[in-house]
């Protein structure tokens, strides 16, 4: 593993747009350890707070006590009775966030953080803290990364490009572990405004028929459509017919996370600097039923459902023949995009791809979450609830086209229970773990033949470090795994509320699109660093157990 220590390997590179440190901002309060003014109607049952008096800086958020002080000695207690009562009053994720903060003891002078919910729930965990928010950055790569030729004729390689386009990772020191980073997302729902026009495509897959929605980033408009997410409207027939173009703008195809969509703030932070003056065109492929899209069959999606993104990329390649296509995926969408790149291999139409917070090994990630209180009662519960709501929104179609037991689905609590009741019968898997093993993208890394970058935080509580395929990345010269020691899941919050991840992503994509001779990065035919076995034995990384029968 190559460790990057700034500033030695962060040489400046030409950038085609300024990456703003703006976006969602923290609101600054008085430099005291006081709590924001709130009412019971706003936050439910609130625990009392003994706040410290020595404050360095206070970041005030309505409904939360402030978190800036010299020794992080915030003390709060939440009785279990209040914990249960509050769940009935507030949005699930916001409640979990508030209770997690209000039940935490922060001790900056000791190498651990102790979580305590009074009355009978006590949780203790040891966490490594990176002081002052200075995260370490590591690059995992093959011994000889794939060579790349730049437009000026100079030769470089994929690793050097990643090193030069990845800035130092300086995050908010108050959010000093993956749980705090991840949960803080609930307090920062706002971000850059991105406007979309939607096109609903009829799926061309012979087995998984139906429809799916693709949202294209466009110039701001005044129209509204209450049936769609904010700042999203449908294309008119005339607008859509005029879309095909011979221009050579780079185009980015994005896949969102579990039950998300084009409206998600983590992807809007990436999109906003790229579009407009940035020179990029962007579209988001919404998974079936997500982002208020309708389904016309009983088929939703799973972690290896690559057919809709494949159809979208093929369509873009046909309608915009001169545009270089790039891919990006977040969380579950990152797993799907990794699978797509592995399935396509040397035939992949993308010039490069970036995945962010990919869980890779779904079985390991699920079991790690199940085996601790926070993972089970916060993350798996919230994700399970989100997927149940997705099913509820398409209840009529589900009842019409499937044999799913909706009564059993309604009783599930956690994500793995949802997968047992929905994904297993839908796709024919005997257990949720058989589904996780088959849909994981770990082996797909070995089949990728285009420049491929993965960005993960090793303190990510959802896409856990134990699930990252370090050895697989070392086997493929076309792939680089960039890990930071801080950042959580899809977060990387910096001081001021901005996020770090759009800058390395944007820098890399801009360098590939505008500085690299893309003819030099055509898909490799065989990218493995190890020799094939003798006596005719061979390994196919994309051999899967789910056999898709073509009707």
The b/e string for 204-230 (b: 16+ C-beta within 10 A; e otherwise) is: ebeebebbbbbbbbbeeeeeeeeebbe
- What's the pLDDT score for residue 537? 66
Any idea which of 111-120, 397-406, 486-495 has the lowest mean pLDDT? 111-120
d(CA 80, CA 78): 6
State the Rg of the chain over Cα.
Answer: 23
- Say how far apart CA 334 and CA 328 lie, in whole Å: 7
Concatenating the DSSP letter of every residue in 156-211 gives EEHHHHHHHH---EE--TTS-SHHHHHHGGGG-------EEEEEEEEP--SSS-SE
CA 265 to CA 193: how far, in whole Å?
9
Cα distance between residue 478 and residue 474, in whole Å: 10
Position 132 pLDDT exceeds 60: yes
Q: What is the three-class DSSP state of 485?
A: coil
Mean pLDDT value of segment 528-543: 66
**pLDDT mean over 184-191:** 85
Active site residue 100: no
Hey, is 289 helix, strand or coil? coil
What is the per-residue pLDDT across 255-290, written as a single tens digit (0 to 9) for each? 999 999 999 999 999 999 999 999 999 999 999 999
Q: Going by C-beta distance under 8 Å and a sequence separation of 6 or more, which residues neighbour residue 398?
A: 298, 391, 404, 406
The pLDDT > 90 percentage for the chain reads 65
- Predicted pLDDT of residue 534: 56
Concatenate the DSSP letters of all residues of 39-104 into one string: -HHHHSS---EE--S--S--EEBTTBB----SS---EE---HHHHHHHHTTS-HHHHHHHHHHHTE
Whether 413 shows a pLDDT value over 80: the answer reads: yes
- DSSP state at residue 421: I
User: DSSP per residue over 40-54, as a string?
Assistant: HHHHSS---EE--S-
541 — pLDDT class (breaks 50, 70, 90): confident
Three-state secondary structure of 337-356 = HHHHHHHHHHHCCCCEEEEE
The pLDDT of residue 107: 32
Catalytic residue among 102, 460, 478, 501: 460
With b for 16 or more beta-carbon neighbours within 10 A and e for fewer, the 445-480 pattern comes to bbbbbbbbbbbbbbbbbbbbbebbbeebbbbbbbbb
Instruction: Calculate mean pLDDT across residues 104-109.
Output: 33
Q: In what order do the strands lie in the sheet with 121-125?
A: 104-105, 113-117, 121-125
Among 60, 102, 331, 365, the active-site one is: 331
Whether the pLDDT of residue 322 is over 60: the answer is yes
Cβ–Cβ under 8 Å, residues 508 and 354: yes
Structure-model confidence comparison of residues 529 and 257, the more confident one: 257
pLDDT-wise least confident of 23-37, 319-333, 341-355, 491-505: 23-37
Q: Residues 435-462: pLDDT tens digits?
A: 999 999 999 999 999 999 999 999 999 9
Beta-carbon neighbour count of residue 120 at 10 Å? 7
| pLDDT attached to residue 59 | 31
Spatial distance between the Cα atoms of 341 and 66, rounded to a whole number of angstroms: 44
- Which domains does the chain show, CATH number per domain? 31-125 (no CATH), 133-219+246-361+441-521 (3.40.50.1820), 365-437 (no CATH)
Q: How far apart are CA 338 and CA 96, in angstroms?
A: 31
- Better-predicted residue by pLDDT, 300 or 149: 149
For residue 499, give the 3-state DSSP assignment. strand
| Tokens 């709130």 found at | 38
**pLDDT score of 232:** 98
* pLDDT value at residue 477: 97
C-alpha to C-alpha distance for 194 and 219, rounded to whole angstroms? 8
Q: Which of 100, 87, 77 is nearest to 175 (CA)?
A: 100
Of 36-45, 163-172, 309-318, 359-368, the poorest mean pLDDT is in 36-45
Q: Which pLDDT score, from 0 to 100, does residue 527 have?
A: 56
CB 257 within 8 A of CB 330: yes
**For range 157-180, the mean pLDDT:** 96
Average pLDDT over residues 349-364: 98
**Higher pLDDT, residue 520 or 312:** 312
- Between 163 and 4, whose confidence is greater? 163
Q: Where is average pLDDT lowest: 62-66, 205-209, 407-411?
A: 62-66
Q: How many helices and strands (H and E) does the chain possess? A: 19, 22
In this structure, the strands spanning 251-255 and 325-330 are parallel
Angle at 170 between CA 168 and CA 176, to 5 degrees: 140
Q: What CA–CA distance (Å, rounded) separates 59 from 176?
A: 15
Catalytic, 460? Answer yes
* Candidate from 35-39, 134-138, 273-277 with smallest mean pLDDT: 35-39
3-state secondary structure of 436: helix
Confidence of residue 102 (pLDDT cuts 50, 70, 90): very low
Q: What is the per-residue pLDDT for 547?
A: 67
Q: How confident is the model at residue 296 (pLDDT cuts 50, 70, 90)?
A: confident
Pairing outcome for strands 75-76 and 49-50? antiparallel
- Percent of the chain past pLDDT 70, that is, above it, reads 73
Per-residue confidence (pLDDT) for residue 174, from 0 to 100? 94
Give the range among 70-84, 300-314, 371-385 with minimum mean pLDDT: 70-84
CA 101/CA 180 separation, integer angstroms: 8
pLDDT tens, residue by residue, 298-314? 788 999 999 999 999 99
pLDDT at 533: 55
Judged against a pLDDT cut of 70, whether residue 68 lies above it is answered with: no
Residue that has been written with the tokens 């924001």 in this structure? 36
Q: Is the pLDDT of residue 2 over 60?
A: no
- Please tell me the predicted confidence (pLDDT) of residue 288: 95
> So what's the pLDDT on residue 63?
33
Q: Residue 406 — very low, low, confident or very high, per pLDDT cuts 50/70/90?
A: very high
DSSP 241-286: HT--------EEEEE--TT--TT-HHHHHHHHHHSGGG--EEEEEP
- Which strands sit side by side in the sheet containing 281-285, from one edge to the other? 2-4, 137-141, 479-484, 452-457, 352-356, 325-330, 251-255, 281-285, 211-218, 195-202, 232-234
Closest CA to 292 of 385, 213, 365, 355: 213
- As a whole number, mean pLDDT of residues 1-29 equals 37
In this prediction, residue 548 has a pLDDT band, given cuts at 50, 70 and 90, of low
CB atoms within 10 A of CB 136: 15
Lowest mean pLDDT among 33-37, 202-206, 271-275: 33-37
Residue 215: active-site member:
no
Catalytic residue (one of 45, 179, 394, 489): 489
Q: Assign 526 a pLDDT band (cuts: 50, 70, 90).
A: low
């Amino acid at each position: 593993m190559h460790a990057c220590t700034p500033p030695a390997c962060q040489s400046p590179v030409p950038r085609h747009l300024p990456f703003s440190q703006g976006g969602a901002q923290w609101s600054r309060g008085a430099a005291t350890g006081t709590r924001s003014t709130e009412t019971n109607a706003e936050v439910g049952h609130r625990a009392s707070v003994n706040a410290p008096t020595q404050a360095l800086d206070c970041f005030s958020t309505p409904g939360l006590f402030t978190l800036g002080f010299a020794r992080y000695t915030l003390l709060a207690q939440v009785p279990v009775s209040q914990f249960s009562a509050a769940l009935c009053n507030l949005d699930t994720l916001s409640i979990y966030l508030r209770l997690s903060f209000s039940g935490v003891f922060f001790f900056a002078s000791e190498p651990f953080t102790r979580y305590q919910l009074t009355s009978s729930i006590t949780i203790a965990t040891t966490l490594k803290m990176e002081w002052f928010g200075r995260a370490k950055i590591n690059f995992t790569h093959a011994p000889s990364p794939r060579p790349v030729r730049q437009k000026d004729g100079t030769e470089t390689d994929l690793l050097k490009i990643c090193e030069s386009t990845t800035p130092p990772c300086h995050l908010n020191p108050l959010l000093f572990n993956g749980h705090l980073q991840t949960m803080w997302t609930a307090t920062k729902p706002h971000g850059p405004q991105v406007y979309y026009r939607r096109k609903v495509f009829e799926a061309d897959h012979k087995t998984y028929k139906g429809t799916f929605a693709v949202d294209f980033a466009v110039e701001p408009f005044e129209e509204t459509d209450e049936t769609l997410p904010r700042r999203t409207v449908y294309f008119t027939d005339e607008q859509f017919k005029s879309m095909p173009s011979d221009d050579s703008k780079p185009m980015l195809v994005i896949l969102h996370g579990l039950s998300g969509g084009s409206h998600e703030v983590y992807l809007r932070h990436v999109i906003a600097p790229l579009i407009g003056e940035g020179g990029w065109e962007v579209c988001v492929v919404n998974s079936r039923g997500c982002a208020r899209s309708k389904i016309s069959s009983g088929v939703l999606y799973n972690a290896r459902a690559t057919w809709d993104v494949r159809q979208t990329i093929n369509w873009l390649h046909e309608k915009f023949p001169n545009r270089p296509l790039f891919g990006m995926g977040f969380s579950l969408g990152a797993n799907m995009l990794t699978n797509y790149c592995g399935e396509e291999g040397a035939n992949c139409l993308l010039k490069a791809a970036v995945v962010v917070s990919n869980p890779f090994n779904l079985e390991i990630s699920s079991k790690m979450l199940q085996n601790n209180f926070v993972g089970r009662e916060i993350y798996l519960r919230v994700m399970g609830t989100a997927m149940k709501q997705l099913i509820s929104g398409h209840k009529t179609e589900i009842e019409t086209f499937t044999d799913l037991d909706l009564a059993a689905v309604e009783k599930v609590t956690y994500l793995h229970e949802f997968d047992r009741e929905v994904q297993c019968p839908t796709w024919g898997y005997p257990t949720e773990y058989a589904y996780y093993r088959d849909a994981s993208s770990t082996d797909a890394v070995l089949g990728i033949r285009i420049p491929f970058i993965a960005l993960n935080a090793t303190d990510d509580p959802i896409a856990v470090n134990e699930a990252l395929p370090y050895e697989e990345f070392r086997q493929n010269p076309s792939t680089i795994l960039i890990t930071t020691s801080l950042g959580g899941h899809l977060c990387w919050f910096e001081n001021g509320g901005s996020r770090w991840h759009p800058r390395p992503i944007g820098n890399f994509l801009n360098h590939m699109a505008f500085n690299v001779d893309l003819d030099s990065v055509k898909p490799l035919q065989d990218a493995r660093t190890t020799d094939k076995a003798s006596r005719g034995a061979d390994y196919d990384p994309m051999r899967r157990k789910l056999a898709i029968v073509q009707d």
